């Protein structure tokens, strides 16, 4: 086999595999696969060349990958790249440095240049690391490959946060005096502050560490700050990190500094888990950032693992690509968002910030009844048709009207009684003698009913419901919503409305059991009228948008489970603003006249009031309108199939 730098690196092999897990965690040493480092370095080089030669990125990339196809610019690029200063500030065993020199070696070979030229590039490729062994190993391998003295290769071993020392050391001081590095590449250590307090305490002892410290930060943020400090204007940083710093509270200062000092030029998000086999639960991104220049960013979503292609191939071949400008990335609150649907995360963020509260802070979200045995194949057990109730002679005192979740539509419940439930929440004294017909009916299923877990545990009698909840929940005023729906199918009702666990019941958190039909207020201060107003707010397009984008979804079907319902934003009802009072009037008037809120004009009017109340920007409104326009343009035949 021909001896090349990549084969030399492959032959080194053992550093990563031999590492003890504890040491790995403590130093954040998850080494990068060579192919991933190569792709990262290639993109960094392409972006640097684009800047220097005002060239098209695709053309530059083709030139570097197939220099023979366009030799003239390829030679020009090669000459320039030989002079670049390149550093990996968390160098480890030097995979990025090897990848960079391999890129040059390949160009040199195809363009039939003198391999001796590469020596100069090797001397300009620097490695920093806390650990002396991998750095020494790297230098030894590269020096012997190029027949250089190891001392000719630039490195720094020690804590890079001690920038007073680092920036004065050779060769770093010389490079900084020339303006800085052309490329800063690497995979800095990801170490959270939790459980690693000592590490951060030590970092804070250095002025650089103290200046960039943020509560709840990750250690790799320091390396991004360092990268910005090391880069020359127009230089490119290419780092593998996690994506948490886009929105994490502990990265607000980092985001501000990044936004002020340059812009992302390329970002790849790797879906479905970590790039590194031993770093569980990470969501990785590889970003390229240019110092000093604002420009659009190419965003790629790399699909989750497939059996056929490796990660680099998936990255190269992904067809989920979009160009984003700064306004689509940086929100007005300073968070970063990368999305194939730019605008949506920004609108969501605005909406949540304007609301200030979550629904779960003001409302209880509870599931309906679990009987443990609704119906046997031929006949109802707890859930009976009106005909079955009659023929079995079930005692009326035990019966409550029972509704299917398909009887809840946006703004309206269908009160036609198609079923009754035998509502037996607890032990009934003399059940057999007081309710002989119900007793006889349920006795037919006694064996199976007795096997239900709560019955076996002695929590419920064999003839009782497994999870009955409370009658007040079903009897009083409430908002109901099916657990799956094609839209935000919330509906208010003050009628008895018993349903099963595929329905959710939303009631005010405080004093909810006290709300009885006819009472206008409860102790929590939310009246029936408030509930009506809230149900009108929940059926507006704004909520459909939030639930579609931020909530859970399977295809076009919204999964309206407890968690997304509790996480929904809720406007400040307690302020009793004019907009809120208007919504209340709209809801109450309409409900009094028609007994429901299912009306397109009402919904549209309420949507406008909520928009104005929350003071959403024009951009957010446009995003929301566009969202529904696109959705309406889609054929809905298929979507309807299962849920209507
Ligand atoms: C995630 S590994 C990456 C190694 C290599 N760049 C790669 O991608 O395979 C992070 C490296 O950062 C080094 N490191 C951690 N803290 C450091 C610090 N304060 N100063 C310098 N290097 C540090 C570790 O020793 C480790 O080699």
- Are the C-beta atoms of 512 and 581 separated by less than 8 Å? no
Helix, strand, coil tally for the chain in percent (to 5): 45, 20, 35
Q: Which run of H or of E encompasses 348?
A: helix 344-355
The mean per-residue pLDDT over the stretch 174-192 comes to 97
Provide the pLDDT confidence category of residue 293 given band limits of 50, 70 and 90.
confident
Residue having the nearest C-alpha atom to atom 20 of ligand 1? 159
Does residue 87 have its Cβ closer than 6 Å to ligand 1?
no
Give the pLDDT of residue 13. Answer: 65
Does residue 91 have its Cβ closer than 6 Å to ligand 1?
yes
The mean per-residue pLDDT over the stretch 558-570 comes to 94
- Are the C-beta atoms of 499 and 405 separated by less than 8 Å? yes
Give the pLDDT of residue 332. Answer: 85
615 pLDDT above the threshold of 90: yes
The mean per-residue pLDDT over the stretch 503-518 comes to 69
Give the tens place of pLDDT for each residue, 297-339: 999 999 887 666 788 999 999 999 999 999 999 998 899 999 9
514 pLDDT above the threshold of 50: no
Give the pLDDT of residue 640. Answer: 40
Measured distance CA(287)–CA(245) in Å, rounded: 12
What are the angstrom distances between the C-alpha of 534 and each of 113, 572, 589, 609?
A: 73, 11, 14, 13
Does residue 29 have its Cβ closer than 6 Å to ligand 1?
yes
Measured distance CA(267)–CA(300) in Å, rounded: 6
Question: Ligand 1 centroid vs 28 CA: distance in angstroms?
Answer: 6
Provide the pLDDT confidence category of residue 102 given band limits of 50, 70 and 90.
very high
573 pLDDT above the threshold of 50: yes
Nearest to 272 by CA among 231, 239, 315, 229: 315
Mutation probe of ligand 1 site: the residue of 28, 169, 275 with most atoms within 8 A of C-beta: 28
Pick from 399-413, 440-454, 512-526: least confident: 512-526
Give the pLDDT of residue 644. Answer: 33
Question: Ligand 1 centroid vs 6 CA: distance in angstroms?
Answer: 21
Higher-confidence residue of 409 and 642: namely 409
Give the tens place of pLDDT for each residue, 464-499: 999 999 999 999 999 999 999 999 999 999 999 999
Measured distance CA(18)–CA(11) in Å, rounded: 14
Does residue 131 have its Cβ closer than 6 Å to ligand 1?
yes
643 pLDDT above the threshold of 50: no
521 pLDDT above the threshold of 80: no
Higher-confidence residue of 173 and 555: namely 173
Provide the pLDDT confidence category of residue 277 given band limits of 50, 70 and 90.
low
| Residues facing 365 on adjacent strands | 506
Give the pLDDT of residue 503. Answer: 98
Helical H segments across 471-554, by residue range:
471-475, 528-538, 541-549
Give the pLDDT of residue 308. Answer: 61
Give the pLDDT of residue 553. Answer: 81
Give the tens place of pLDDT for each residue, 236-265: 999 999 999 999 999 999 999 999 999 999
CATH topology of domain 5-11+30-237+246-257: Rossmann fold (3.40.50)
Does residue 31 have its Cβ closer than 6 Å to ligand 1?
yes
Measured distance CA(163)–CA(445) in Å, rounded: 77
Mutation probe of ligand 1 site: the residue of 12, 25, 92, 98 with most atoms within 8 A of C-beta: 92
Does residue 187 have its Cβ closer than 6 Å to ligand 1?
yes
Does residue 95 have its Cβ closer than 6 Å to ligand 1?
yes
Give the pLDDT of residue 510. Answer: 73
Give the pLDDT of residue 369. Answer: 98
Give the pLDDT of residue 12. Answer: 76
Provide the pLDDT confidence category of residue 22 given band limits of 50, 70 and 90.
low
Q: 3-class SS at 295?
A: coil
Task: Return the sign of the alpha-carbon dihedral for residues 421, 427, 429, 430.
Answer: positive
Does residue 160 have its Cβ closer than 6 Å to ligand 1?
yes
Measured distance CA(59)–CA(428) in Å, rounded: 81
The mean per-residue pLDDT over the stretch 580-603 comes to 97
The mean per-residue pLDDT over the stretch 10-37 comes to 68
636 pLDDT above the threshold of 80: no
Give the pLDDT of residue 642. Answer: 35
Question: Ligand 1 centroid vs 223 CA: distance in angstroms?
Answer: 10
| pLDDT above 70 as % of the chain | 91
Please state whether beta strands 262-270 and 297-302 pair in parallel, antiparallel, or not at all (unpaired). Answer: parallel
Question: Ligand 1 centroid vs 89 CA: distance in angstroms?
Answer: 7
Give the pLDDT of residue 399. Answer: 98
Domain parsing of the chain, residue ranges: 5-11+30-237+246-257, 343-366+476-633, 369-468
Pick from 20-29, 150-159, 344-353, 529-538: least confident: 20-29
The mean per-residue pLDDT over the stretch 579-600 comes to 97
The mean per-residue pLDDT over the stretch 33-49 comes to 97
Cα angle: 378, vertex 384, 389; to 5 degrees: 105
> For the packed helices 528-538 and 600-614, what is the interaxial angle rounded to 10 degrees?
90
The mean per-residue pLDDT over the stretch 346-375 comes to 95
Measured distance CA(541)–CA(568) in Å, rounded: 13
Measured distance CA(35)–CA(28) in Å, rounded: 20
Beta strands across the sheet bearing 399-403:
383-384, 419-422, 399-403, 498-499
- Are the C-beta atoms of 540 and 628 separated by less than 8 Å? no
| pLDDT above 90 as % of the chain | 82
Ligand 1 atom with the shortest distance to the CA of 222: 19
Give the pLDDT of residue 415. Answer: 97
Question: Ligand 1 centroid vs 139 CA: distance in angstroms?
Answer: 16
Q: What is the mean pLDDT of the chain?
A: 91
The mean per-residue pLDDT over the stretch 25-31 comes to 64
Task: Supply the pTM of this predicted model.
Answer: 0.81
Provide the pLDDT confidence category of residue 28 given band limits of 50, 70 and 90.
low
Measured distance CA(91)–CA(132) in Å, rounded: 10
Give the tens place of pLDDT for each residue, 124-143: 999 999 999 999 999 999 99
Provide the pLDDT confidence category of residue 157 given band limits of 50, 70 and 90.
very high
Question: Ligand 1 centroid vs 542 CA: distance in angstroms?
Answer: 45
Pick from 26-35, 198-207, 242-251, 616-625: least confident: 26-35
Measured distance CA(445)–CA(455) in Å, rounded: 13
Give the pLDDT of residue 20. Answer: 55
The mean per-residue pLDDT over the stretch 285-291 comes to 97
Pick from 422-426, 428-432, 561-565: least confident: 561-565
Q: What are phi and psi of 495, to 5 degrees?
A: -90, 155
Question: Ligand 1 centroid vs 269 CA: distance in angstroms?
Answer: 22
Question: Ligand 1 centroid vs 27 CA: distance in angstroms?
Answer: 7
Does residue 159 have its Cβ closer than 6 Å to ligand 1?
yes
Residue having the nearest C-alpha atom to atom 6 of ligand 1? 91
The mean per-residue pLDDT over the stretch 90-108 comes to 96
Provide the pLDDT confidence category of residue 278 given band limits of 50, 70 and 90.
low
Please state whether beta strands 181-186 and 86-88 pair in parallel, antiparallel, or not at all (unpaired). Answer: parallel
Tokens found for residue 591: 């409900």
């Amino acid at each position: 086999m021909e001896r090349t730098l990549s084969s030399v690196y492959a032959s080194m092999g053992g550093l990563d595999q031999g590492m003890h897990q504890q040491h790995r965690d403590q130093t954040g040493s998850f080494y990068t696969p060579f192919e991933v480092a190569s792709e990262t370095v290639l993109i960094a080089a392409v972006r640097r060349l684009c800047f220097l030669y005002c060239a098209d990125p695709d053309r530059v990339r083709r030139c570097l990958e197939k220099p023979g196809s366009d030799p003239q610019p390829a030679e020009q690029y090669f000459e320039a790249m030989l002079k670049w200063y390149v550093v990996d500030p968390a160098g480890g065993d030097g995979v990025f440095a090897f990848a960079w020199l391999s890129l040059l070696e390949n160009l040199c070979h195809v363009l039939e240049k003198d391999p001796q030229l590469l020596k100069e590039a090797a001397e300009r490729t620097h490695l920093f690391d806390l650990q002396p062994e991998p750095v020494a190993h790297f230098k030894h391998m590269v020096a012997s490959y190029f027949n250089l003295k190891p001392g000719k290769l630039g490195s720094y071993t020690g804590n890079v946060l001690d920038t007073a020392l680092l920036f004065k050391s050779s060769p770093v001081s010389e490079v900084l005096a020339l303006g800085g590095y052309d490329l800063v590449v690497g995979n800095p250590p990801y170490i959270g502050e939790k459980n690693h307090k000592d590490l951060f305490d030590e970092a804070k002892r250095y002025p650089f560490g103290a200046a960039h410290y943020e509560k709840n930060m990750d250690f790799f943020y320091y390396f991004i700050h360092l990268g910005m400090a090391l880069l020359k204007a127009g230089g490119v940083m290419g780092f593998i990190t996690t994506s948490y710093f886009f929105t994490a509270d502990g990265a607000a200062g980092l985001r501000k500094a990044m936004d002020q000092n340059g812009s992302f030029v390329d970002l790849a998000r790797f879906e479905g888990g970590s790039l590194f086999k031993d770093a569980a639960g990470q969501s990785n991104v590889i970003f390229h950032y240019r110092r000093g220049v604002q420009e659009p960013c190419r965003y790629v979503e790399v699909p989750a693992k497939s059996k056929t292609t490796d990660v680099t191939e998936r990255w190269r071949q992904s067809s989920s690509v979009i160009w984003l400008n700064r306004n689509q990335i940086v929100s007005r609150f300073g968070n970063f968002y990368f999305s194939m649907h730019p605008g949506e995360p920004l609108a969501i963020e605005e909406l949540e910030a304007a609301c200030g509260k979550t629904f779960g802070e003001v409302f209880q979200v509870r599931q309906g009844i679990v009987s443990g045995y609704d119906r046997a194949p031929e006949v109802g057990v707890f859930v009976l048709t009106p005909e079955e109730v009659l023929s079995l002679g079930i005692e009326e005192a035990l019966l409550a009207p029972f509704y299917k979740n398909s009887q809840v539509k946006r703004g309206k419940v269908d009160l036609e009684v198609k079923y009754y439930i035998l509502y037996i929440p607890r032990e009934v004294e003399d059940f057999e003698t007081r309710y002989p017909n119900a007793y006889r009916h349920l006795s037919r299923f006694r064996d199976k009913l007795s096997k239900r877990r709560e019955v076996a545990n002695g929590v419920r009698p064999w003839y009782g419901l497994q999870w009955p909840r409370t009658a007040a929940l079903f009897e009083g005023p409430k908002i109901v919503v099916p657990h799956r729906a094609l839209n935000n199918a919330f509906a208010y009702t003050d009628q008895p409305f018993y349903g099963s666990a595929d329905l959710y019941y939303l009631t005010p958190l405080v004093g909810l059991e006290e709300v009885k039909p006819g009472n206008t207020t409860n102790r929590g201060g939310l009246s029936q009228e408030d509930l009506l107003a809230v149900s009108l707010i929940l059926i507006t397009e704004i909520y459909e948008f939030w639930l579609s984008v931020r909530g859970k979804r399977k295809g076009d079907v919204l999964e309206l489970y407890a968690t997304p319902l509790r996480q929904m934003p809720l406007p400040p009802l307690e302020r009793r603003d004019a907009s809120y009072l208007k919504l209340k009037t709209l809801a109450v008037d309409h409900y009094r006249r028609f007994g429901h809120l299912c009306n397109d004009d009402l919904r549209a009017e309420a949507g406008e009031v909520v928009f104005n109340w929350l003071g959403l920007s024009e951009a957010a409104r446009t995003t929301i309108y566009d969202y529904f326009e696109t959705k309406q343009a889609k054929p809905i035949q298929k979507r309807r199939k299962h849920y209507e």
